[in-house]
Amino acid sequence: MTHMGELLSRVVHEVVRPVTATVLVGVLGATSLASDSVGTPPDEARGIIICPVGEDVEGAWVDAGTGQGWAHWSAVSQGDANVAGYYRDVGERTNYRVHVGCGGSRKNWEHPDYAQRSSPSDVAAIWECGPNPDRPLAVNGICRLVGKG
C-alpha cells in the first residue's frame, strides 16, 4: 500500500470513525481502489475530500434532503492537508451533496467547490474537488464523486 493509501486508511479508521469505505490508494488520478468493510450507519454522510495539491481543505458543508450543515472534518495529516475525512449526521438515509472550501482560510475559502452529483448517505464517498473544466476562469469549482463503497 502506498504512503497515501496508508494515510487514507488511517483517516477512515481513526479520523472519520469506522465506516464501509472505499479508500483511495493514490491521490488525484488514482486508478486503484481498496475496500474496507466495517459498516456505515445509513444516517451519516461521510467519506474523503481531496482538494488540489497545495490547497488545504478549509471546510465542508453537507446539503442533504433532510437538512444541511457543516460537516465534522479533519485533515489526514499536516503534510497532506488537502485530503480530509468528513462526516455529518443527516438523520436518516438520504442523498446528499458536499460543498468544499479548498485553499484560503476557514472563513474565506479561496474557491468553493460544489458537488455535481449526489451520493447516498449509507455509503462512504470520495470527492475530488478542483476547477471546473467547463468554466476554467470561474472562482467556483466542482467536486466529482470518484469513488464510493
- The pLDDT of residue 125 is 93
Residue 1, Cα to own-chain centre: how many angstroms? 20
- The pLDDT of residue 17 is 38
Number of domains in the chain: 1
Residue 60 reports pLDDT greater than 50: yes
Express each pLDDT in 2-40 by its tens digit. Answer: 444 454 455 444 444 332 222 232 332 332 333 333 455
Percent of the chain, pLDDT > 70?
72
Strand partners, 130: 142
- Residue-averaged pLDDT of the chain: 77
Range of 133's domain? Answer: 3-148
- The pLDDT of residue 38 is 45
- The pLDDT of residue 20 is 24
Express each pLDDT in 113-130 by its tens digit. Answer: 999 888 888 889 999 999
How many whole angstroms separate alpha carbon 107 and alpha carbon 109?
6
Q: What is the pTM of this model?
A: 0.72
Express each pLDDT in 80-95 by its tens digit. Answer: 999 999 999 998 899 9
